[in-house]
Amino acid sequence: MRRTTVPALLTCALALSSCSLVGTGDDEAADRPTGDGTTEAGGPVVLVTHDSFSLPKKLIRAFEAETGYELELRANGDAGSMTSQLVLNVDNPLGDVAFGVDNTFAGRALEAGVFAPYRGEWPAGVEEYALPGDDEGVLTPVDNGDVCVNVDTAWFDEEGLEPPQTLEDLTDPAYEDLFVTSGATTSSPGFAFLLATIAAYGDDWPSYWEDLLDNGAKVVPGWEDAYFVDFTAGGGGARPIVLSYDSSPAFTTTDDGEDTTTAALLDTCFEQVEYVGVLAGAENPAGAQAVVDWMLTPEVQAALPDSMYVFPVADGAGLPEAWAEFAPRPEQPLAVDAAEIDENRDDWLTEWQDIVSR
């Protein structure tokens, strides 16, 4: 028995080795467009992104076929982690172009000189999302979304209770023990919500947070904990008010698709904009610029909601039906200047952590 087992196992091992990554080599080379007549443009262009990046493969292939560049993607954790890595590697960039730095982290990247100036053709509507304080023109807006408090309208209907409207309402005893949010130090929407309260209350924000916690607000580590575990409409939790996004109600449609069972409170929203930029010291700056332009094409803009759950910045990019119908946007989202965020981020987070863990 032992005599046959060893050879059999060795055979298995050999068979397995053929399905390892090493065995595959670079068979993608065959798919690559080879010199399809477009000028001298070409070669690999490395796009650094956060790990939520996602676009249809078809679009990426079309980009490669049209421009002659090969797009290589490199993920680097979440937006914060990616920005930190870009800053750390400023003298030896991780790639040619970076997508996913948002307005809560942009100041840090700008100050460190991570990006090189580039401004292509901006379709109508993009300008209004330009980063305040970006005087050299290094960042191009690609998408935006708002972090907003969401309510389970079905739950409130059933209870015969009027849902809250404003940040102030959340400290009203009528809504005691009903709100769950994710933490500012552990999640990016959580940090955006802290910024929303800072935008609304200025220097008084700590006392607002004390009131919020006194009223039984629950703080959990991540968005997924808050939404899928504690929110009544997410996974059968116990709290009908949750921190999420303005697009979230488009995901809670009824079975017939006629209505949605949740709503975003449009007076509580903090706007997040994601940018793309050419990295300073890029090996393939021409390719990097082509990627920046590509992100603003109608095809990519239209693919954003479905692929990355965010709104396009270009006018007329078109939205999925459910989004257009059930995800109204705030007219005046709360905002804090990127430079101010950068200056105070540490102090705010430290103070917030003190309040929450008191």
Partner 1 sequence: MAAARATGGGSTAGRLAGLAGLAALPAVVLGIFFVLPVSGMVARGLVDDGALDLAGVLEVLGRPRTGRVLWFTVWSSAVATTVAVALGLPAAYALYRLRWPGRRVVRACLLVPFVLPTVVVGVAFRQLLGEAGPLGFLGLDGTARAILAGLVFFNVAVVIRGVGAAWESLDARPGEAAAALGASPGHVFRTVTWPQLRPAVVSSASVVFLFCATAFGVVLTLGGLRYASVETEIYLLTVQRLDLQAAAALSIVQLLAVTALLLLAARLRAVPDPTVARRSVPPRRPRRTDVVPLAVTGLLLAFVALPVAALVTGSLQPDGPDGGWSLEAYRALDGRGTAPGQGGTALVVPVTEALVTSLRTAVDATWMALLLGGLLALLLTRRSRSRTERRVRSVLDGLFMLPLGVSAVTLGFGFLITLDEPPLDLRDSPLLIPLAQALVALPLVVRTLVPVLGGVDDRLRQAAQSLGAGPVRTLVTVDLPVAWRPLLAAGGFAFAVSLGEFGATSFLARPDDPTLPVVIFRLIGRPGPLNDEMAMAASVVLAGTTALVMLLVERLRVPSVGAL
Q: What are 28's two structure tokens?
A: 């993608």
How would you classify the pairing of strands 262-264 and 97-102?
unpaired
Subset of residues 165 to 204 that bind partner 1, contact rule: CB under 8 A? 183, 185-186
User: 355: buried, middle or exposed (CB in 10 Å: 19+, 13-18, 0-12)?
Assistant: middle
Query: By the 8 A CB rule, do 100 and 308 touch?
Result: no
Min dist. Cβ of residue 18 to partner 1 (A): 9
In the complex with partner 1, the residue whose CB is nearer, 127 or 158, is 158
Min dist. Cβ of residue 246 to partner 1 (A): 12
Within 10 Å of residue 128's Cβ, how many Cβ atoms? 11
Subset of residues 233 to 252 that bind partner 1, contact rule: CB under 8 A? 234-239, 244-245, 248, 250-252
Which of 8, 88, 161, 174 binds partner 1 (CB under 8 A)? It is: 88
Min dist. Cβ of residue 129 to partner 1 (A): 22
- The residue count for binding partner 1 (CB under 8 A) is 81
Subset of residues 104 to 163 that bind partner 1, contact rule: CB under 8 A? 108
| 22 is a contact residue toward partner 1 (CB under 8 A) | yes
| 8 is a contact residue toward partner 1 (CB under 8 A) | no
| 344 is a contact residue toward partner 1 (CB under 8 A) | no
Min dist. Cβ of residue 209 to partner 1 (A): 12
Residue given tokens 């679009």 in the structure block = 59
In the complex with partner 1, the residue whose CB is nearer, 191 or 208, is 191
263 by DSSP, 3-state: which?
strand
Query: By the 8 A CB rule, do 293 and 102 touch?
Result: no
Residue given tokens 């076929």 in the structure block = 65
| 222 is a contact residue toward partner 1 (CB under 8 A) | yes
| 11 is a contact residue toward partner 1 (CB under 8 A) | no
In the complex with partner 1, the residue whose CB is nearer, 159 or 306, is 306
User: Residues with Cβ < 8 Å from 264, sequence gap 6 or more?
Assistant: 146, 148, 149, 150, 244, 245, 246, 248, 249, 327, 328, 330
Which of 59, 62, 200, 319 binds partner 1 (CB under 8 A)? It is: 319
Q: Which stretch binds partner 1 (CB under 8 A): 34-42, 55-63, 139-147, 263-271?
A: 55-63
| 323 is a contact residue toward partner 1 (CB under 8 A) | yes
In the complex with partner 1, the residue whose CB is nearer, 16 or 117, is 16
| 261 is a contact residue toward partner 1 (CB under 8 A) | no
| 9 is a contact residue toward partner 1 (CB under 8 A) | yes
Q: Which stretch binds partner 1 (CB under 8 A): 116-124, 160-168, 300-308, 333-341?
A: 300-308
Query: By the 8 A CB rule, do 44 and 70 touch?
Result: yes
Note every long-range contact of 328-333, with CB atoms under 8 Å and residues 24 or more positions apart, other chains counting: 328/246, 328/264, 328/266, 329/146, 329/246, 329/266, 330/146, 330/148, 330/246, 330/264, 330/266, 330/267, 330/269, 330/271, 331/266, 333/146, 333/269, 333/270, 333/271
